[in-house]
Chain A
Amino acid sequence: MTARFEGIDFYDVDALLSEEERMVRDTVRSWVEDRVLPVIGKAYVDRRFPKELIPEIGELGMLGANLPEEYGCAGLGNVAYGLIMQELERGDSGIRSFASVQGALVMYPIHAFGSEEQRAEWLPKLAAGEKIGCFGLTEPDYGSNPAGMITTARRRDGGWVLNGAKMWITNGSMADVAVVWAQTGQAGDARGIRGFVVPTNAPGFSARDQKGKLSLLASDTSELVLEDVELPDSALMPGSSGLRSPLMCLTQARYGIAWGAVGAAMACFHEAARYAGERVMFDGPIAGKQIQQVRIADMLTSITQGQLLCLRLGRLKDESKMTPQQVSLAKRANVDMACNVAREARRLLGANGILAEYSAMRHMANLESVYTYEGTHDIHSLVLGQAVTGLAAF
């Protein structure tokens, strides 16, 4: 029997976690080990999100876990929430993406901007995994610059009519509910952007699977089309006000991604270190060769840095002191780190590294999506550049 995954903890970061945070982490870790790892390689090759895991993800309380208990959520702190993301992404970025979208991009806005009726109607079911949600912000022609979106929401008979298209929408085809961002004023008016809670069975709403992906294959990525979708007035999230509302959601999701990336990197490191010890070439394990030791040392160093970055960010978030710019730094640094670790792990594994039986190449391909979504690496560079220089270079 191979030893169970123990995480990477070169700096005794465990000692900085509370007992409850460690318990949450260990629970999710065992669950991923038992339920995700045995099925994920095949699901990936079959280009299928393993939907059968959703009930357990909900039952264990992994969805919107940092939201309050009164809505059926686990009411965890932000470090525990981050550790959930870390462990889920150790399984696969697709599984973490599912949970990120559901929790940070659907449940969070309904909780933060929704009416009490919207919260009561959706949050308990979303927390339990009985209903699935998606978040539609990106459009075919408005990716990094969502302020320019052309999906419109217009008043009609006391309600709203939505028209437009959203692209690259995680969970899009399997969702029961979509949080859709639309322009209620003139195109380009960032203040006119409002959020709507749209049941996906509303007439005029359709979703289509995005074909041809080479990354995040165990994830549902879809295009949404809204054609004269008529909604009651109550579909508007009353607290949503301008582009800053979806950006607040993205800050939540990116926070989780910064943790998730560490998990993907740990998975790759763990696999590479073990493989190096077992693979004998030129009369000895490749772990005993200096070049591979440099690789391993680099991976260990950057994972440890990423881990400490997340933990500090989480404590700031718990104290309500975290800024969006700090989240940009962590998302940018950690995802880039994970991309590098995954690529080096894949190389260390030689030919085996290209197989679905190992995880490095799957993570490597996944992380290219993570690098791009939730604000590309470049866009976060510009956010940080602006934070330092005061000059917007977008």
Chain B
Amino acid sequence: MNIAVCIKRVPDTGTRIRIAETGDGVETDGVKYVMGPYDEFAVEAALQLAEAAEGGEVALLAYGPPATQEALRSGLAMGAHRAVLLAGEPTMDGWATARTLAAELSGWEADLVLFGVKAVDSDQQQVGPMVAELLGRPCATAVSSMDVSEGVATCRRVVEGGREVVEMTLPAAATITKGQYEPRYASLRGIMAAKRKPLEQKAAKEAAVELVVEALEYPPPRPPGRILGEGPAAAAELVRLLREEDKAI
């Protein structure tokens, strides 16, 4: 079974984001980048599926600046077999990103294309389903665990109040969320082996951008805390405020 996993290079979740002076992007200086945490779940899922199938190839695909190689290497160190980097500058236009990725993937023979459910920087959750649409494949989203047998992928999804099980015939696509998949550590031998695995870089055939970010703003500062009083006497007022002002209860 051949599995493609699309990964994105994103700022480390611990990074403090500062808006750039231009006002429509973020300051990139001093930002540490990593593979998207949800993409790590997708890589883990792909590796487990390939292991269960006792064969097949896990190939990584990323669209991003050349420095994205580092994120790809960490996926190779986890155990993926090869990687392709479409060098370019993805924007916040998920549709453009999806078309760029799909143009490449249409030449691949992947039984499954996996994505993280979202990239933690843009948080749009678009690219996976859009690529699936462009490739004419069924797509299960926010999958927490899955397995494949006889050309059918069975995906489990956590939905409000329960669990949903969906089946799709291959070739198919899925976006993976945190669930059963605990990304493995790249072993140190894996890191050494990753150096020798193929990582092909080529210029992305970038699709035209039709959506642009106009402005970014910081969230409003949190209002200072209020002390309502002390002991049981304050409880009634607290309940009243939670009910009437915050509508929390």
User: Which residues on the A side are within 8 Å of B191 (C-beta)?
Assistant: 20, 23-24, 27, 74
Q: Are A76 and B14 in contact (CB under 8 A)?
A: no
With contact pairs A20-B195, A74-B192 given, residues A60 and B74 touching in the complex (Cβ less than 8 Å): no
Q: Does B185 contact A (CB under 8 A)?
A: yes
Q: Mark B224-237, 1 if CB is under 8 A from A, else 0.
A: 00000000000000
**Nearest-neighbor residue (CB-CB) of B77 within chain A:** A23
If over half of A's interface residues share one DSSP class (helix, strand or loop), that class is named, otherwise mixed; here it is: helix
Q: Does B124 contact A (CB under 8 A)?
A: no
Q: Are A19 and B73 in contact (CB under 8 A)?
A: yes
Binding stretch for chain B, among A61-69, A156-164, A189-197, A198-206: A61-69
Please report the C-alpha to C-alpha distance between residue A69 and residue B73 in the assembled complex, in whole angstroms.
20
Q: Report B1-54 residues with CB < 8 Å from chain A CB.
A: 14, 32
Q: Mark B164-206, 1 if CB is under 8 A from A, else 0.
A: 0000000000000000000001111111101100000000000
Q: Are B70 and A76 in contact (CB under 8 A)?
A: no
User: Which residues on the A side are within 8 Å of B192 (C-beta)?
Assistant: 20, 69, 74-76
Q: Are A84 and B185 in contact (CB under 8 A)?
A: no
Q: Are B187 and A60 in contact (CB under 8 A)?
A: yes
Q: Does A59 contact B (CB under 8 A)?
A: yes
Please report the C-alpha to C-alpha distance between residue A80 and residue B187 in the assembled complex, in whole angstroms.
13
Per a CB cutoff under 8 Å, which of A19, A27, A30 touches B188? A27
With contact pairs A20-B195, A23-B73, A23-B77 given, residues A69 and B189 touching in the complex (Cβ less than 8 Å): yes
User: Which residues on the A side are within 8 Å of B14 (C-beta)?
Assistant: 3-4, 6
**Nearest-neighbor residue (CB-CB) of A21 within chain B:** B191
Query: What distance in Å separates the Cβ of B66 from its nearest Cβ neighbour in chain A?
Result: 12
Query: What distance in Å separates the Cβ of B213 from its nearest Cβ neighbour in chain A?
Result: 27
**Nearest-neighbor residue (CB-CB) of A72 within chain B:** B189
Q: Are A60 and B185 in contact (CB under 8 A)?
A: yes
Q: Are B188 and A76 in contact (CB under 8 A)?
A: yes
With contact pairs A4-B14, A6-B14, A20-B195 given, residues A30 and B185 touching in the complex (Cβ less than 8 Å): yes
Please report the C-alpha to C-alpha distance between residue A74 and residue B187 in the assembled complex, in whole angstroms.
9
Query: What distance in Å separates the Cβ of B72 from its nearest Cβ neighbour in chain A?
Result: 11
Query: What distance in Å separates the Cβ of B31 from its nearest Cβ neighbour in chain A?
Result: 12
Please report the C-alpha to C-alpha distance between residue A30 and residue B34 in the assembled complex, in whole angstroms.
13
**Nearest-neighbor residue (CB-CB) of A61 within chain B:** B188
**Nearest-neighbor residue (CB-CB) of A58 within chain B:** B187
Please report the C-alpha to C-alpha distance between residue A59 and residue B185 in the assembled complex, in whole angstroms.
10
User: Which residues on the B side are within 8 Å of A76 (C-beta)?
Assistant: 188, 192
Q: Report B84-137 residues with CB < 8 Å from chain A CB.
A: none
Please report the C-alpha to C-alpha distance between residue A23 and residue B14 in the assembled complex, in whole angstroms.
17
User: Which residues on the A side are within 8 Å of B70 (C-beta)?
Assistant: 19, 23
Please report the C-alpha to C-alpha distance between residue A76 and residue B70 in the assembled complex, in whole angstroms.
18
Query: What distance in Å separates the Cβ of B16 from its nearest Cβ neighbour in chain A?
Result: 9
Query: What distance in Å separates the Cβ of B189 from its nearest Cβ neighbour in chain A?
Result: 5
Q: Are B189 and A31 in contact (CB under 8 A)?
A: no
Please report the C-alpha to C-alpha distance between residue A4 and residue B16 in the assembled complex, in whole angstroms.
12
Please report the C-alpha to C-alpha distance between residue A4 and residue B192 in the assembled complex, in whole angstroms.
25
Q: Are A27 and B189 in contact (CB under 8 A)?
A: no
Per a CB cutoff under 8 Å, which of B32, B188, B194 touches A60? B188
Please report the C-alpha to C-alpha distance between residue A332 and residue B73 in the assembled complex, in whole angstroms.
37
Query: What distance in Å separates the Cβ of B75 from its nearest Cβ neighbour in chain A?
Result: 11
**Nearest-neighbor residue (CB-CB) of A127 within chain B:** B189
Q: Mark A79-101, 1 if CB is under 8 A from B, else 0.
A: 01000100000000000000000
Please report the C-alpha to C-alpha distance between residue A60 and residue B192 in the assembled complex, in whole angstroms.
12
**Nearest-neighbor residue (CB-CB) of B69 within chain A:** A19
**Nearest-neighbor residue (CB-CB) of A73 within chain B:** B189
**Nearest-neighbor residue (CB-CB) of B32 within chain A:** A6
Q: Are A62 and B185 in contact (CB under 8 A)?
A: no
**Nearest-neighbor residue (CB-CB) of A18 within chain B:** B195
User: Which residues on the B side are within 8 Å of A31 (C-beta)?
Assistant: 185
With contact pairs A3-B14, A4-B14, A19-B73 given, residues A27 and B195 touching in the complex (Cβ less than 8 Å): no
A-B contact pairs, 28 of them (CB 8 A): A4-B14, A6-B32, A19-B70, A20-B73, A20-B194, A20-B195, A23-B70, A23-B73, A23-B77, A23-B186, A23-B194, A24-B188, A24-B191, A27-B188, A27-B191, A31-B185, A60-B185, A60-B187, A61-B187, A61-B188, A61-B189, A62-B188, A65-B188, A69-B192, A74-B187, A74-B189, A74-B191, A84-B188
Known pairs A20-B191, A61-B187. 7 more at Cβ < 8 A?
A: A4-B14, A6-B32, A19-B73, A27-B188, A61-B189, A65-B188, A76-B188
Would you list the 4 A-B pairs with minimal beta carbon distance, nearest first?
A61-B188, A74-B188, A61-B189, A3-B14
